Structure 1
Amino acid sequence: MSYGKSTKKRSTMAKLQSVLDGENYLGIRGEVEGEFIQPPFKTRLRELFRQIEKEFDILYAENLSLQEKIDTLNEKIERESFISDKPGYDSTDFDNVAKTVKAKLGNTSSQKLKTAHKLKAQTSKIVSSFKGPNTQCSMIREYIGHKDGVWEVSVSRSEQPVIGTASADHTACIWSTDSARCLLQYQGHNGSVNSLRFHPNKDLVLTSSGDCTAHLWQAAVNWDIPKGHSSEEELEYGEEIDEKFDRVETLRTPIMEFGAHSGAIAAADFLAGAEQVITASWDRLAMLHDVETGLALNTLGGHDLELTDLSTHSAQKMAVTCSRDTTFRLWDFREPAFPVSVFQGHTESVTSAVFTSEDKVISGSDDRSVKVWDLRNMRSPLATIRTDSAVNRLAVSDTGIIAIPHDNRQIRLFDLSGQRLARLPRTSRQGHRRMVASVAWANGHNTITNLYSCGFDRRVLGWSVHPYKEKDT
C-alpha cells in the first residue's frame, strides 16, 4: 500500500476516534440516561465505516493483483529452471557446435555443406528440448465438507464413480465424483483418519487412524444422487453446504476392527486377492491381518523409526512400507519366508512409495526428491527428480505420469524418465492454499476428471489432466 493511502487510512481512523470520543460523551452518557446516540453522530459514524470498508476493499484487490504477479513470476522461474535442468544439454553445447563448425571451415565446400546440415540438426534438437510442458491441466470440481485437513484421497477400484477421503476431523467420506456430493460419512474412529483404501471388487473400505486401529466398513450408499448443483454453486452458498452435509448418511460401526498395534496407524491397504490386509504403524511395525477373523498373522519388523505409509501391488502379493528411517522396504508375500528388500537412497523420511504397472516403484521423501526404482535392481534408482519442496503421498497413472504433491501447495507432473511434464495451476481461484497431502489417479475411469488431490486447506479438488492436441498444419 502506498504512503498516501496509509496516511489517508490513519486520518480516517483519527476522525473515527474523535467521533467516538464525542459519542462517549454525548451518546453513551445519554444512553445511560435513557437517551440514544444523536442522529448527526450516527450519520457521521456510518460514513466513516463506509470509508474504512472501501479502504479494505482496495487493499484486498491490491493483494490479489500482487498474488497473481507472484504466481506469474514463479511460473517463469520454473520454466527457466526446467530449461537449465535438461539432461544432456547445457549452455556450452552451442559453443561446442560452433567450434566444430569453425574447425572444419578450411575444408572443401561439400564438407562445409555437410557441417552446416549437422549444425542445423543439432541446433534443432537442442531447441526442441527447450519446449515447455505439453500437458493441459485445469481444475474441474471441488468437494467441500471436511472440518479439518484431509490426509488422503483415494479412487474406487470398481466402476462406481466415487472417491474416498480420510481427514484429521476423525471422519472418512465417500463422494460422488459427478455431483461432488458427500454420499456417506464414516464416524467410527476416535482419532485422525490417516488413510482410506477401497476393496478391489466389493463395496468395502479400509481406513486407518491415530486411535491405533484400522477399520473395515461397508460403503453401502445411494448411487442415484441427483446432479442438480455444481460445486461452484455450493461454493457460493456456504451455509447451504453445511446443511446438506449435516443431512448426509452416517456410519459408526465397522464390520471388522484390526487393533494389534500400540501406536497410531499411518496407513492400511488390501493385499492382492483381498484375503489379508496389511497395516503400518508409528510403533515401527507392519502387520499382516486376516480379513475374515481380524487376527494378526505376522509381524513385520526391521524399520528403525516410525512408519509413514504403505502401498500394495495391484496383482502380486507384494507391499512396500515407508519409514522416517530414510528407507522403504519391499515385502514379498508370495514366498513363505516373506523375503524383504531394503531400498536406500533418500536422506530424510520416506513419505510415500507406490508400484507402477511396469514393475517399478516410485518413492518420495522429505529430502525433496522422487526416485524411480526397478524391482530387480535396488542398488541405484533409474531416475531421480529434484524438487524445491518436501514430497507427500504421490501417485502414478497407468500411462506412467507421476503426480507429486508438495508442502509448498504445488502439484507437479513428471514421466518415469524424470522428464517434467507440467505443473497444476495454483491461483487465487483454483489450487490448494496449504500443504497438498495426497493425490490419486482415476485409472480406468472414463471421465474428464482423472486426478484428485487433497490438502490441509480442507479442500478436495478434481482435475482434468490431458495432453494437448496437436493442431493440424
Structure 2
Amino acid sequence: MSINNIASTGKTPKSKRNVLNRPASSSLLEGDLFLSHRVDLENEGLNTAYKSKLYSLFKQIEKEFDNLYQENQNLHEKIDLLNEKLGKDSYDKPDCIDFENNISKVLSKKLSSASQKSKTAHKLKAQTSRIVSSFKTPSFSCSLVKEYSGHKDGVWEVSVARPGIPVIGTASADHSACIWGIESTRCLLQYQGHSGSVNSIRFHPSKDLVLTASGDSSAHIWQAALNWDLPKGQSSEEELEEEVEDKLDSKIPALRTPVRELLGHTGAVSAAEWIAGAEHIITASWDRLAILHDVETCTSLVQLAGHDQELTHTSAHPSQKLAVTSSRDTTFRLWDFRESVHSVSVFQGHVESVTSVVFARDDKLVSSSDDRCVKVWDLKNMRSPVATIRLDSAVNRLSVSTNGFIAIPHDNRNIRLYDLSGQRLARLPRSSRQGHNRMVACATWADEVINGINLFTCGFDRRVLGWSIMSMKDL
C-alpha cells in the first residue's frame, strides 16, 4: 500500500515506511560496497590468484563489520536494560569508555590489512563518538503524565487550543477528529464530517472553531462550543449524535456538519493552517498545489504552484502573513502574503522528502525530513542552514516551543529534544510502560503548562501522550 493510499483511505499499515535500525556505517551498507568492488574485479582482467586474494580480503572485512554491528547491538541491549532499571536516560561513564575503547581496538586490529582502513575507521569513530556523547546525564526531567486513547486507527496530528481553553484536538486515520479534556483525558466531542483520513487539525486563534484537513480532498471548519461539559454544534439544526466510547463506555457527542467546507484540490489534503489574522487559510495537497482560501466566502483566492511532488505539510507564522509548504520533492517553500504579489523563496538542503517545516523564534525555520536530519534556517540568510541535527531515524511532524526547544518525533518510536543550536537536550522515556510502541507521527508543545503537561505526542499506536518536560535547573 502506497503512502498516498494511507492518508486518503485512512487504513494505516503496520509501519509507514521500512525503518533501518542499523547505523549508516553498518555491515549492510559496507557489504553492498564490497559486493560492488567484487563485481568490478570480475570485469577486470586480473589473474586468478590475485582476484582470489582480494575476494578473501573483502570477505574478512565484511565479516568483521558484521561482528562489530552485532557487538554494537548487544551493548545497546545492555544499556537499554540499565536505562529501564535506573528509570532515566543516563548511563555509567565506565561502560561508555569501555564501549568506545572496544570498538577502537577491534577496528585497529581487524582493518589493518584493508586498503580503505583510514576512511572506514574515521567514519565509525565519528559515529561511536556521537553514540557515547549521548550517554551524558540529561539536563531535563521528562515524565509521562496523561494518556488519551479511543481512536480506532493511527493518530496523525495533535493540536493544543488557545491559552485558557484546556483541551487538545486529534486528527486520525479512522476518519474522525476528537476534542479531549486535558485533565479528564475524556473525549468531549467527535467530528465525523470527513469521508477520508483526517490528516491535520488546528484550533482558531480566538474563536471556538476547528480546522481539519482530510484525504477526501477537502478541509472543513467546524464549531466546538465553550461548554466543554456538553459540546454543541453551531445550531440546533446540526446533526449532533451520541456514540459509545469504547474506553469509558460513556456517551460522546458526535458532530457531522461543518460550518465551512474548503474545496479546490484534486488529491488528499495533507494539512491546513490559519494564516495570521485568521481571515485566510492555506491548504497543502498531494495534487502538488497549495491553495489560499478566503474563510468568509470559502473561495479559492490563488493556487500556489511550484512543487514537483506531493505536499506533505504547511504551517503559518504566528503574527505575520507568511506560510511554508513542504514536499516530497526534497524542498520547502516560503510564501509571503503581506503584499499583493505572493512572493516565494525555495529552500534546498534535504535529500529526501521534507515532512514538516515550522516557524521558530528569532526569524528561524526548522525543517524535518525522511533523510534523518533536522535543519535550522535563518530567514535573513537562506542559502544554507545555521544548524544541522543528524539522527538515526526518519523524522515526522516536529514542534518548536516558545523558548526554542525542538521536539523531534521519529519513525523508530523515539522522541528527542534539541535546542535551536543543534545541542541535544534529552530523549523521552520509551519502555513497555512509557512512550509509544509504534511510529510517532507528531509532537506539539503547549504555550502554557496545563496540569503539569507542556508537550503532547501522537502516533500509529492510536494513542496521544501528555508529557511534563522540565529543565533540571528549574527543579
* Structure 1 residue 208 corresponds to structure 2 residue 217: no
| Aligned residue among 408, 411, 416 for 1:412 | 416
* CA deviation after TM superposition for structure 1 residue 243, in Å: 6.2
CA RMSD of aligned residues (A): 2.8
* Structure 1 residue 199 corresponds to structure 2 residue 204: yes
TM-score, with normalisation over the residues of structure 1?
0.70
* CA deviation after TM superposition for structure 1 residue 220, in Å: 1.5
| Cα distance, 1:428–1:308 mapped onto 2, change above 3 Å | same
* CA deviation after TM superposition for structure 1 residue 468, in Å: 1.0
Report the equivalent of 2:387. 383
Partners in 1 of 2:450 and 2:169 — Cα distance? Answer: 18
Contact 1:284 1:307 in 2 (8 A): yes
| Aligned residue among 392, 396, 400 for 2:404 | 400
Structure 2 counterpart of 1:193, which letter? Answer: V
Report the equivalent of 2:81. 72
Report the equivalent of 1:173. 178
Report the equivalent of 2:291. 287
Partners in 1 of 2:430 and 2:341 — Cα distance? Answer: 48
* CA deviation after TM superposition for structure 1 residue 357, in Å: 2.4
* CA deviation after TM superposition for structure 1 residue 132, in Å: 2.6
Report the equivalent of 2:12. none
Partners in 1 of 2:161 and 2:196 — Cα distance? Answer: 24
Report the equivalent of 1:24. none
Partners in 1 of 2:96 and 2:379 — Cα distance? Answer: 29
Report the equivalent of 1:217. 222
1:139-192, Cα deviation, whole Å (9 max, x unpaired): 000001100000000001241000000000000000011110111000000000
Report the equivalent of 1:322. 326
Partners in 2 of 1:354 and 1:81 — Cα distance? Answer: 38
- Partner of 2:437: helix, strand, or coil? coil
1:318-341, Cα deviation, whole Å (9 max, x unpaired): 000000000000001001111100
Whose RCO is larger (CA < 8 A, sep 6+)?
2
* CA deviation after TM superposition for structure 1 residue 82, in Å: 11
* CA deviation after TM superposition for structure 1 residue 260, in Å: 0.5
Contact 2:286 2:310 in 1 (8 A): yes
Partners in 2 of 1:445 and 1:130 — Cα distance? Answer: 28
Structure 1 counterpart of 2:210, which letter? Answer: V
Q: Percent identity?
A: 67
Report the equivalent of 2:188. 183
| Cα distance, 1:283–1:170 mapped onto 2, change above 3 Å | same
- The structure whose residues are more often helix, as a share, is 1
Matches within 5 A, 1:62-101: 71-72=80-81
| Aligned residue among 450, 453, 458 for 2:454 | 450
Partners in 2 of 1:200 and 1:148 — Cα distance? Answer: 28
| Cα distance, 1:421–1:291 mapped onto 2, change above 3 Å | same
| Cα distance, 1:67–1:248 mapped onto 2, change above 3 Å | farther
Report the equivalent of 2:365. 361
Structure 1 counterpart of 2:446, which letter? Answer: A
Contact 2:90 2:138 in 1 (8 A): no
Contact 1:79 1:132 in 2 (8 A): no
- Partner of 2:170: helix, strand, or coil? strand
Report the equivalent of 2:37. none
Partners in 2 of 1:69 and 1:142 — Cα distance? Answer: 28
| Cα distance, 1:140–1:69 mapped onto 2, change above 3 Å | farther
- Partner of 2:453: helix, strand, or coil? coil
* CA deviation after TM superposition for structure 1 residue 79, in Å: 9.2
> Which region of structure 1 is more displaced relative to structure 2, 74-83 or 209-218?
74-83
Matches within 5 A, 1:7-86: 71-72=80-81
* CA deviation after TM superposition for structure 1 residue 133, in Å: 1.9
Q: Is there any run of 5+ residues in structure 1 with no aligned partner, and where?
A: 1-65, 84-90, 92-127, 226-239
Structure 1 counterpart of 2:148, which letter? Answer: Y
Partners in 2 of 1:435 and 1:201 — Cα distance? Answer: 32
* CA deviation after TM superposition for structure 1 residue 135, in Å: 0.4
TM-score, with normalisation over the residues of structure 2?
0.70
> Which region of structure 1 is more displaced relative to structure 2, 250-259 or 73-82?
73-82
Partners in 2 of 1:389 and 1:366 — Cα distance? Answer: 8
| Cα distance, 1:214–1:164 mapped onto 2, change above 3 Å | same
- Partner of 2:447: helix, strand, or coil? coil
| Aligned residue among 329, 334, 339 for 1:335 | 339
* CA deviation after TM superposition for structure 1 residue 219, in Å: 1.0
Partners in 1 of 2:409 and 2:196 — Cα distance? Answer: 24
- How many equivalent residue pairs? 350
* CA deviation after TM superposition for structure 1 residue 72, in Å: 3.4
| Cα distance, 1:168–1:249 mapped onto 2, change above 3 Å | same
Report the equivalent of 2:68. none
| Cα distance, 1:81–1:222 mapped onto 2, change above 3 Å | farther
Contact 2:448 2:454 in 1 (8 A): no
Contact 1:138 1:424 in 2 (8 A): yes
* CA deviation after TM superposition for structure 1 residue 362, in Å: 0.3
Contact 2:271 2:313 in 1 (8 A): yes
Partners in 2 of 1:443 and 1:289 — Cα distance? Answer: 27
Contact 1:67 1:428 in 2 (8 A): no
* CA deviation after TM superposition for structure 1 residue 73, in Å: 6.5
Report the equivalent of 2:464. 460
* CA deviation after TM superposition for structure 1 residue 376, in Å: 1.0
Partners in 2 of 1:77 and 1:462 — Cα distance? Answer: 25
Partners in 1 of 2:96 and 2:360 — Cα distance? Answer: 25
- Partner of 1:242: helix, strand, or coil? coil
* Structure 1 residue 438 corresponds to structure 2 residue 442: yes
Structure 2 counterpart of 1:456, which letter? Answer: F
